[in-house]
Amino acid sequence: MKTILQFAAVAAVSLGLAAPVLAGDVSPEQVAGATTVDTAQARALFDKEVAFVDVRKDSDWDAGRVPGAIHLDLKGKFTEEGLSAEVKKDEPLVLYCNGSSCLRSSEASVMAVAWGFSKVHYYRDGFPAWKAGGNPVE
């Protein structure tokens, strides 16, 4: 029953996040249960060796990423089991995609919180801001 309720909650929120895409809006600034971080805060977390999870599609990942990031494409490999295999639920993690016009990191943040991850950092500005800030890329 708990799994059904979690799925229903994730589905409801995901559907709510899909509406702005249809309207041409941008990703939400905040995700309930997650901490929104800017580029400077993301870099501080990177320097502390916090896990970065890239939820972009394969072609974006192949074009460049945060060094050492974990690739879990939201549309395929981003599952509770997949994320749990990489990060413990009580460990911090940073979720990112392609900036404020990309909803993948906000959707992933909603899902991670629903799955019980307690230290989710939502990097809304994502890889474009990371790169523009002169941070390392691979």
Given this model, what pLDDT does residue 26 score? 87
> For residue 109, what are the contacts with CB-CB under 8 A and spacing of at least 6?
31, 33, 34, 95, 120, 122
35-56 per-position pLDDT tens digit = 999 999 999 999 999 999 999 9
Helices (H), the chain: 2-23, 39-47, 58-63, 80-86, 104-114, 126-132
Residue 86's identity, in one-letter code, is E
Q: What mean pLDDT comes out for the span 103-132?
A: 98
**Nearest to residue 132, comparing CAs of 53, 42, 62, 70?**
42
Pair type for strands 120-123 and 51-54: unpaired
Given this model, what pLDDT does residue 24 score? 56
Return the structure tokens found at 15: 């559907």
Pair type for strands 93-96 and 51-54: parallel
CA gap 93, 83 in Å, rounded: 10
Whether pLDDT at 7 is above 60: no
> For residue 14, what are the contacts with CB-CB under 8 A and spacing of at least 6?
107, 110, 111
Query: Quick one: pLDDT band at residue 15, thresholds 50, 70, 90?
Result: very low
Whether pLDDT at 14 is above 70: no
Given this model, what pLDDT does residue 20 score? 41
Query: Quick one: pLDDT band at residue 117, thresholds 50, 70, 90?
Result: very high
Could you confirm whether domain 2-132 is CATH 3.40.250.10?
yes
Whether pLDDT at 2 is above 70: no
> According to the per-residue pLDDT averaged within each range, which of 10-14, 25-29, 119-123 is highest?
119-123
CA gap 83, 90 in Å, rounded: 12
CA gap 76, 99 in Å, rounded: 20
68-116 per-position pLDDT tens digit = 999 999 998 999 999 999 999 999 999 999 999 999 999 999 999 999 9
- Domains of the chain, residue spans: 2-132
